[in-house]
C-alpha cells in the first residue's frame, strides 16, 4: 500500500491523452472493494480516472478530512458519498434513528468534501410500499435543510423492483421524481443507475422530465445473462444486456453533464486481481455521447 499523494509521479507516467480519455469516468470504491481506499485513490489517479465515489465502509477508521485531502491531492474529483437512506420502518424509533444516521452521513460528506450523498431509501416488508414512500418523503424533507447548510445534495436512487422488499420502495424514476416534487427542495434530486432502471418503459421520458436540474448522478454497470445472484453478480459494461449507449445518450440529452460512475457489486470480480479488473473496466468504458440532432 503506498502512502501519500501520488499524483506527481504517477500521472507523469501516463501519456496526456490517456489521462484525457478517462477524465469523465468515476469509480466507486466498492467496485474495487478489496483495495483499501488509499490504494484505490492511487490506482485510479494513475490510470487517469477523473472521479471517485467513496463508500462509507471505505472510510472506516479514517478521518474523512484526511481522505478528502488525499483524494484532491491525487487529482481526483470526489463525486459522491455512498450511501444514506433506509428511512422506512413501521417503528417510529427506527425512523428517528435513521434520521440520526443520515445526519452523520451528511456531516461525513461535508468533511470529506463530497457534494452529494446517494440515498438508498429503504422499504419495510411489514407495511405497504406506499406507506414506506411517504416515510421516505418525510425523512428527505426533514433532512434537506440540514444538508443544504452542509453544502450537500441528496440523490434519491431508485432501485430495481427486485429490491422492493427491504431496500427501496422507490423502484422507478417517476417515483423518485414524485418524491422530489413532494419535498420541493433544490438540493433533492435523483441518481440514475442503469442497472436499476434499464427495463423501465418510461425511462427516456422520465429522464427528459428530470432534466439537468434533477439528475444528480449516473451509475453504470451491466446485467449479466444469466444473473446468478440478486445482489453481487453485476457485470462490467458490455458483459450483459443493458443498452448503455442508448441510456447514456438519453442521460446526456436530458442535460446531465457529470461523471459516469462505475459501480459494480461482484463476488466474482472482487476475487480477481484488482489491477486487472481496473484494466478491464477501462477497456470496456465508452463515454456516452449525446445523440446527434437529425
- CB count, 10 Å around CB of 73? 15
User: CB of 174: closest distance to a copy of itself in angstroms?
Assistant: 8
User: CB of 187: closest distance to a copy of itself in angstroms?
Assistant: 25
Contacts of 267 (CB under 8 A, 6+ apart): 229, 232, 233
Looking at 82-90, 106-114, 199-207, 249-257, which segment touches a copy of itself (CB under 8 A)? 199-207
Question: Distances in Å between the alpha carbon of 104 and those of 58, 66, 99, 165, 210?
Answer: 16, 17, 9, 25, 28
Looking at 20-28, 56-64, 92-100, 223-231, which segment touches a copy of itself (CB under 8 A)? 223-231
In whole angstroms, what is the distance from residue 268 CA to residue 233 CA?
7
Looking at 4-12, 60-68, 224-232, 280-288, which segment touches a copy of itself (CB under 8 A)? 224-232
User: Which one of residues 226, 292, 293, 294 is an interface residue with a copy of itself (CB under 8 A)?
Assistant: 226
Q: Which of residues 138-167 bind a copy of itself (CB under 8 A)?
A: 160-162, 164-166
By CB under 8 A, how many residues form the interface with a copy of itself? 27
User: Is residue 294 a contact residue for a copy of itself (CB under 8 A)?
Assistant: no
Question: Distances in Å between the alpha carbon of 174 and those of 72, 140, 177, 251, 256?
Answer: 35, 17, 5, 15, 17
Looking at 1-9, 139-147, 198-206, 259-267, which segment touches a copy of itself (CB under 8 A)? 198-206
How are beta strands 25-28 and 51-55 bridged, if at all? Answer: parallel
Question: CA angle, corner 77, sides to 71 and 81, nearest 5?
Answer: 80
Strand segments (E) across 131-208: 153-156, 188-193
CB-nearer residue toward a copy of itself: 35 or 195: 195
Binding site for a copy of itself (CB under 8 A): 125-126, 128-129, 160-162, 164-166, 171-172, 174-175, 198-201, 223, 225-227, 230, 240-241, 243, 246
Amino acid at each position: 500500500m503506498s502512502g501519500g499523494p501520488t499524483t506527481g509521479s504517477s500521472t507523469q507516467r501516463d501519456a496526456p491523452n490517456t489521462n484525457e480519455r478517462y477524465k469523465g469516468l468515476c469509480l466507486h470504491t466498492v467496485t474495487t472493494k478489496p483495495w483499501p481506499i488509499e490504494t484505490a485513490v492511487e490506482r485510479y489517479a494513475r490510470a487517469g480516472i477523473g472521479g471517485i465515489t467513496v463508500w462509507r465502509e471505505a472510510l472506516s477508521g479514517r478521518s474523512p478530512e484526511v481522505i478528502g485531502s488525499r483524494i484532491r491531492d491525487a487529482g481526483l474529483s470526489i463525486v459522491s458519498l455512498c450511501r444514506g437512506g433506509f428511512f422506512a420502518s413501521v417503528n417510529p424509533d427506527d425512523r428517528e434513528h435513521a434520521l440520526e444516521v443520515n445526519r452523520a452521513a451528511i456531516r461525513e460528506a461535508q468533511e470529506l468534501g463530497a457534494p452529494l450523498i446517494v440515498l438508498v431509501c429503504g422499504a419495510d416488508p411489514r407495511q405497504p410500499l406506499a406507506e414506506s414512500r411517504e416515510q421516505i418523503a418525510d425523512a428527505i424533507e426533514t433532512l434537506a435543510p440540514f444538508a443544504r447548510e452542509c453544502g450537500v445534495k441528496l440523490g434519491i436512487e431508485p432501485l430495481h423492483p427486485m429490491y422492493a422488499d427491504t431496500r427501496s420502495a422507490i423502484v422507478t424514476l417517476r417515483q423518485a421524481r414524485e418524491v422530489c416534487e413532494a419535498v420541493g427542495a433544490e438540493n433533492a434530486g435523483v441518481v440514475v443507475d442503469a442497472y436499476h432502471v434499464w427495463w423501465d418503459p418510461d425511462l427516456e421520458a422520465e429522464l427528459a422530465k428530470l432534466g439537468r436540474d434533477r439528475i444528480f448522478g449516473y451509475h453504470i454497470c451491466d446485467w449479466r445473462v444469466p444473473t446468478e445472484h440478486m445482489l453481487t453478480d453485476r457485470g462490467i459494461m458490455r458483459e450483459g444486456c443493458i443498452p448503455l449507449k442508448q441510456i447514456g445518450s438519453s442521460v446526456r440529452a436530458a442535460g446531465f453533464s457529470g461523471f459516469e460512475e462505475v459501480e459494480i457489486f461482484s463476488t466474482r470480480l472482487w476475487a480477481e486481481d484488482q489491477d486487472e479488473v481496473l484494466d478491464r473496466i477501462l477497456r470496456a468504458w465508452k463515454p456516452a455521447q449525446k445523440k446527434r440532432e437529425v
